[in-house]
Amino acid sequence: MVPSLSANIITLDNNPGSVAMYSNLTDAYNAAEDGDTILVAGSADSYGRIDSYKDLTIIGPGWRLSENNIPGLSTVSATLHVNFHEDPLTGDSSGSSCIGLFGQFNSDPEITDILIDKCTTAWAWRFKGPVTITRCIMGSTLTLDVSNSSISNSILSTVLLQQPNISVTNCVINISIDAVPNTTITNTIFRITDAAKWDNDPSFDYCMTVGSSFLPEGNGNLNDQSQAAVFAQTSSDSFYQLKEGSPAIGAGLGGADMGAFGGPKPYVLAGLPGVPRLTRLTVPTTATGLTALTFEVEAEAFPE
């Protein structure tokens, strides 16, 4: 998501010597108004946690940048945590987006239209209001306690779908699935091998299991595929790219590829946000009033 030109853009950077507008997350949040965007620089130090009552877009630099050989001035992610709240007097964080961040996100039941895109975490996420989760990678538990939500093009570990009318599309699920009836799972690859961590209540269409045979027959489902034949198995999140000749290629609904890299809006390596990234800045050490100050800038734009 590219920041709106009509909204304020607030910069946040807690690295020593930063020239950003703010170095403290709370200060940046206090300065923001509904509709504003906070751009967060990568840092080895966490930015901490906020309880948000505002409709904000918070964008980080992505993550695992060095593992995926992404150019730029920093190879570290931005760590911060957001709890989305609503209060008649304080405000309403409905409509907020978090993109390209490493952190924990949770929402109250009154909150709607939250977007979590291209994010990763070592913490559990729990949403009690409608949410869209897309192109994320999680090593912990994702719990949705609300209907009318969706998860797509994500790489997940433990998934708990506690209400009906939740859709899961083009994902990879590694450890367990627990869901109520009237949840739908499509074009998804499961690496679950423990029968105790499998749930037959969802509707499975054009899905695949790797190393097990838990899926119901029919509906385009494929059981007991070889992991070595399905995934590229390189490193980091690129492990989940489909190998050349993978049985998941073209095997999804409507001929789409199964897994996180299939479909119309595939997973993005390293969670790179769709905003330009500065890759080089050269400034002369001195300048006089008689000579022009010449500097060079290089940037790379990444697709949304």
251-296 tens-digit pLDDT: 999 999 999 999 999 999 988 887 776 667 787 777 666 666 777 8
Of the candidates 221, 222, 242, the residue with the CA atom closest to the CA atom of residue 231: 242
Q: What is the mean pLDDT of residues 40-61?
A: 96
Domain that holds residue 238: 143-268
pTM of the model: 0.91
Q: What is the mean pLDDT of residues 109-116?
A: 97
> Which residue's structure tokens are 């739908």?
184
**Length of the chain (residues):** 304
For residue 136, is it within any domain? no
Give yes or no: residues 227 and 245 share one domain.
yes
Measured between alpha carbons, how far is 93 from 71 in angstroms, rounded to an integer? Answer: 33
Give yes or no: residues 40 and 77 share one domain.
yes
Looking at every residue in the chain, the average pLDDT score rounds to: 92
Give yes or no: residues 192 and 228 share one domain.
yes
For residue 44, is it within any domain? yes
Give yes or no: residues 12 and 106 share one domain.
yes
Measured between alpha carbons, how far is 289 from 110 in angstroms, rounded to an integer? Answer: 59
Give yes or no: residues 147 and 264 share one domain.
yes
pLDDT of 28 > 60? The answer is yes
Q: Which of 2-6, 39-43, 82-86, 225-229 has the lowest mean pLDDT?
A: 2-6
Of the candidates 152, 156, 109, the residue with the CA atom closest to the CA atom of residue 130: 109
Report the pLDDT value the prediction gives residue 6, as an integer from 0 to 100.
58
- Helix, strand, or coil (residue 86): strand
pLDDT band at residue 1, thresholds of 50, 70 and 90?
very low
Give yes or no: residues 64 and 179 share one domain.
no
pLDDT of 72 > 60? The answer is no
Give yes or no: residues 164 and 49 share one domain.
no
Question: Which residues are within 8 A (CB) of 258 and not within 5 positions of it... i.e. 6 or more apart?
Answer: 170, 187, 188, 189, 206, 207, 208, 242, 248, 249, 251, 252
CA distances from 92 to 55, 85, 86, 150, 226 (A): 7, 6, 4, 21, 47
Give yes or no: residues 234 and 288 share one domain.
no
Report the pLDDT value the prediction gives residue 7, as an integer from 0 to 100.
79
Report the pLDDT value the prediction gives residue 279, as an integer from 0 to 100.
67
Measured between alpha carbons, how far is 230 from 203 in angstroms, rounded to an integer? Answer: 23
First to last CA, the chain: 6
- For the chain, what percent of residues have pLDDT higher than 90? 79
For residue 134, is it within any domain? no
Query: How many domains in the chain?
Result: 2
Q: Which of 131-145, 205-219, 225-239 has the lowest mean pLDDT?
A: 225-239
Q: What is the mean pLDDT of residues 190-202?
A: 97
